């Protein structure tokens, strides 16, 4: 007698995933989520530090404006009088109270991009290549280029959000009072702290860090290479900066003085009758301007400078160059990552 098998039970209906999908709709997924989990402690600390710095900058800007209004410092130093902070006690007190705070906050904004590059080069990319944990990710059907893109997504978003806010708030603080009140805070001294420059710097640092990590595959060498490469690019652009935008030339019969209205003086010297340019350093110490002209067979003086209005054209041009270098470095890193697959 043959036993009859009971009919196979129909499979249980799958549990609805709609609530799960709804809860995770606005959350990072896939490998980006894994990167956030790997570095969650560091990212929490960086977020807290960022919030503290933003609050501090907002408070500094508020106090700068309030104190300047109470002391009527904008009217006191009207006309670009650079020495007003030395002659008037209200301005001197203001300078003593806020000069260091503005200066050191500016340095922080200026060097955060380098820290972003070092963080990308070391903990984000090179450490995983050095330890070999990247093999697990690549064996899970994750292409190398997508692995690197996910690695770069985290610092890039942090840069675009965090550094943009820091730069905007610091620029707001910097414009609170005339820069004559705070010597050393003129636009050409604070170039890397203002406007789009810190953001472009940081993107460049992140891309350079990824490229250095892939080139060395070691944490410490990658960070050193990032430091050297970033420093080289910044030094080269600092040398090229005066030439990125046409400078203004003033010609006069008398030796021009250095303006006190925030003008960035590039060069001063003499023009000979044949059109040759001779720097005023050739005059020597203790030689009168008239005698210097006669000695060098010159008849006019020139002053090459960038007025304060050239600040933003120069800043956007240099930021554009840095953004292009960042895109080039990121493209090179995405190409390079395919060649380190065993």
Question: Smallest Cα–Cα separation from 118: which of 267, 226, 277, 237?
Answer: 226
pTM surpassing 0.95? no
Instruction: Give the per-residue pLDDT at 168.
Output: 94
Q: Which two tokens stand for residue 331?
A: 């493209």
Rg (CA), the chain: 29
Measured distance CA(268)–CA(48) in Å, rounded:
48
Q: Which two tokens stand for residue 20?
A: 């799960």
Instruction: Give the per-residue pLDDT at 322.
Output: 94
Question: Smallest Cα–Cα separation from 188: which of 315, 60, 52?
Answer: 315
Mean pLDDT per block of 10 residues along the chain (342 residues) reads 46 44 50 67 82 93 85 61 55 76 90 87 77 61 72 82 93 82 79 92 91 87 91 92 92 85 87 84 81 85 91 95 93 80 52
Tell me how far the alpha carbon of residue 122 is from its chain's centroid: 19
Instruction: Give the per-residue pLDDT at 5.
Output: 47
Measured distance CA(216)–CA(223) in Å, rounded:
10
- Long-range contacts formed by 335-339: CB under 8 A, 24+ apart: 336/211, 336/214, 336/215, 337/144, 337/145, 337/147, 337/148, 337/214, 338/144, 338/145
Measured distance CA(312)–CA(265) in Å, rounded:
17
């Amino acid at each position: 007698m043959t036993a009859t098998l009971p009919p196979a039970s129909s499979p249980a209906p799958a549990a609805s995933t709609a609530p799960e999908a709804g809860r995770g709709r606005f959350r990072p997924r896939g490998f980006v989520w894994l990167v956030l989990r790997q570095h969650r402690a560091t990212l929490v600390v960086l977020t807290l530090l960022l919030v503290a710095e933003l609050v501090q900058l907002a408070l500094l800007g508020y106090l700068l404006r309030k104190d300047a209004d109470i002391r009527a410092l904008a009217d006191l130093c009207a006309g670009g009088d650079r020495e007003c902070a030395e002659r008037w006690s209200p301005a001197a007190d203001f300078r003593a109270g806020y000069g260091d705070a503005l200066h050191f906050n500016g340095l922080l904004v200026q060097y955060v991009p380098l820290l972003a590059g070092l963080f990308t080069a070391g903990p984000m990319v090179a450490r995983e290549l050095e330890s070999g944990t990247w093999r697990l990710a690549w064996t899970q059907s994750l292409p190398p280029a997508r692995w690197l893109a996910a690695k770069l997504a985290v610092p890039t978003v942090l840069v675009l959000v965090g550094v943009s806010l820091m730069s905007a708030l610091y620029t707001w603080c910097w414009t609170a009072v005339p820069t004559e009140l705070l010597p050393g805070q003129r636009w050409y001294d604070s170039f890397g702290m203002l406007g789009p420059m810190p953001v472009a710097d940081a993107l460049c640092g992140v891309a350079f860090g990824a490229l250095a990590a892939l080139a060395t595959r070691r944490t410490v060498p990658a960070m050193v290479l990032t430091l050297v490469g970033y420093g080289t690019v910044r030094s080269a652009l600092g040398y090229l900066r005066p030439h990125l935008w046409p400078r203004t030339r003033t010609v006069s019969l008398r030796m021009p003085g250095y303006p006190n209205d925030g003008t960035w003086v590039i060069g001063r010297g003499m023009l000979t009758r044949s059109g040759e340019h001779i720097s005023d350093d050739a005059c020597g110490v203790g030689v009168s301007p008239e005698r210097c002209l006669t000695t060098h067979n010159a008849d006019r003086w020139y002053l090459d400078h960038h007025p304060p209005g050239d600040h933003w054209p120069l800043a956007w041009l240099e930021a554009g160059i840095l953004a292009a270098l960042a895109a080039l470095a990121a493209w090179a890193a995405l190409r390079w990552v395919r060649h380190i697959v065993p």
